[in-house]
Chain A
Amino acid sequence: MNQIAPNSYRTGPDEKGLFGIYGGRFVAETLMPLILDLQKAYDEAKADPTFQAELDGFLEHYVGRPSPLYFAERLTEHLGGAKIYFKREDLNHTGAHKINNVMGQILLARRMGKTRIIAETGAGQHGVATATACARFGLKCIVYMGEVDIERQKPNVFRMKLLGAEVVPALSGSRTLKDALNEALRDWVANVEDTFYCIGTVAGPHPYPEMVRDFQCIIGNETKKQMHRHEGRLPDSLIAAIGGGSNAMGLFHPFLDDPSVEIYGVEAAGSGVDTGKHAASITGGRPGVLHGNRTYILMDDDGQITEAHSISAGLDYPGIGPEHAWLNDTKRVSYVSATDKEALEAFQLCCQLEGIIPALEPSHALAHAMKLAPTKPKDHLMVICMSGRGDKDIFTVADHLGVKL
């Protein structure tokens, strides 16, 4: 995997959907014509100013963008190093970055004349965002969610139902996010005529990794402008948590060709990457093929997919988006990890110092910031993607702290 540093890190994927050796279109033949259709429709929409204008309108008035870039003053003081900013995706309508991508895909689905939307969800944030947009446009919505995740993300399950979505439990395998994805793919194969599959992260067959990235890039594009306004320059480092990698890619991508910016993707280390109970696909996995793309995946020596483990349902996935796999191999982005325990500590610290209850997913990014910030000088500008709010996680956290609600 010796690769020469490219001139630009922002030109991928190629016409086959590849980032280096990663990505591609590893799907059943039944889906192939649909994926080609989707690609065509997306390329047309991208080139159509009315599509972008419509999307911008919804992002401003419905989602509430731009989201603030907030100076976390007390956390900065506490850690005693880098000057820390939060990109406040938690303030978006529905409480996470997921809605940025969903608005884009749902507008595209409408353009394509699709009337039935399916989605997979782990933490339930993507499911809630999809259910929300479907309610807004009067589309039928079916969300697949692992049985285990339904149990640990109850508030979001109820929200989806209130919004009129049908939540279908995925009962196979580990009954978490990967199985929800399998079920969604199976649904799609059986309902090709009217159904649009709204994938929630930068994974899946081409063009999903590219399309979801493009819709999430608003995070990084806004951050760039806002940082200029606050500080008159680029940030020095970016940190984001990685499930499939969509909030991270959204923040990172606009900065990939700014070599002075250090970039960190934080995977979920669960009980620790050497315990076998984790969700760190790059740190603990290897290149393989799953869910339509080649990327780093957790598996055994026979190529069977192993179960991921994380306290955070949104990070509990044994793969990672293919562009991240490539950014790892080219060394443009550093992939690190944080354990359940570290994330819980960061979660509490953030509540206490900043009056912000973070989701467990970005708590992993915070945990890495707690390690990194003290090693940096005071004029080092660090941006953490606060990808979502933690209301959905209070039951899980209470459980771990031994509190009965």
Chain B
Amino acid sequence: MTTRIDQRFADLKKEGRAALVTFVTAGDPDYATSLEIIKGLPMAGADIIEFGMPFTDPMADGPAIQEAGLRALHAGQTLIKTLDLVRDFRKSDDRTPVVLMGYYNPIYIHGVERFLKDAKAAGVDGLIIVDLPPEEDEELCLPAIKAGLNFIRLATPTTDDKRAPTVLRNTSGFVYYVSVLGITGTKAPDLKSVEQNVTRLKGHTKLPIAVGFGVKTAEQARSIAKSADGVVVGSALVNAVKTSLKAGKATPETAKAVHRLVSEIAQGVRS
């Protein structure tokens, strides 16, 4: 079975360039602005949309994404509304892959089977669940694959050659290589070590490899795009949302600021 994610990477391979994967938090700073943001992402140059599901206790995220999650929750965002956003997005875009990224508890409480059915129906293509390592595959990974969703795993600098096969075993869609030891949005990736690790991981899998955590500039994106199949930008976009706000509320600038930054980084990926 080919998903939108598989299709997109196959198309880009023909074009001979890497994918730009953009992360924003669903419902940040509010539902309507969040929809405006994701609707404009493909035009701005995003190839895949990663949509963060807000959670009160995001243990792998730095301050930028923590705050974005809290902004969204304060504005009333829920898991159900995140699926609504995807459904609304799909009304005008049936091709751009959407990956939900977040933590397990809200899904567990929604009910795994119900969540997979609802997510699939809303037009979600894949899941990245930070706190579900391969040791917990029976919880969500295997049911998700059965439901026709990609389950995208994080590989990290601690994923050595011994561990890699375990991590990659039930991964599909693409592999997300976490370029730094640490939480999102804090350290800058060491480009040399990223290249080495991407090459190393390619020895273990045929899946495309996207690299993220700490990518902020077009220059970094350009350099990572040389060895990786995709570049993920997150905290930088979330920060663009934050700086556009007035008294915590969206302004006419909010969506534009995100789209402008995405265009800029897209140039890096495409050059």
Contacts and interface: CB of A to CB of B under 8 A. Distances in A.
Contacts of B182: 186, 189-190
Interface in A1-53: 16, 24-34
B55 A304 contact: yes
A301 interface: yes
Interface stretch (A210-218, A243-251, A288-296): A288-296
A21 to B, nearest CB: 11
Interface stretch (B37-45, B103-111, B221-229, B260-268): B103-111
| Contact residues of A: prevailing secondary structure | mixed
A302 B81 CA distance: 10
B14 interface: no
Given A299-B105, A303-B105, A182 B57 contact: yes
A186 B163 contact: no
A278 interface: no
A304 B79 CA distance: 10
B187 A190 contact: yes
Interface string A155-192: 00000000000000000110000110010011001111
Nearest to A297: B105
Nearest to B59: A185
A223 to B, nearest CB: 35
Interface in B150-171: 153-160, 163, 167
A24 B104 CA distance: 13
A305 B136 contact: no
A179 B153 CA distance: 26
Given A27-B131, A28-B59, A303 B181 contact: no
B106 A304 contact: yes
Interface residues of A, number: 37
B56 A304 contact: yes
Contact of A302 (B109, B159, B186): B109
B220 interface: no
Given A28-B133, A289-B104, A289-B105, A304 B73 contact: yes
A290 B167 contact: no
A29 B60 CA distance: 10
Contacts of A24: 135-136
A182 B131 CA distance: 13
B59 A302 contact: no
Interface in B49-76: 54-60, 62-63, 66, 70, 73
A179 B70 CA distance: 14
| Minimum-distance CB pairs A-B, first 6 | A303-B109, A303-B106, A190-B182, A30-B156, A302-B78, A26-B131
Interface of B: 54-60, 62-63, 66, 70, 73, 78-80, 103-110, 130-136, 153-160, 163, 167, 178, 181-183, 186-187
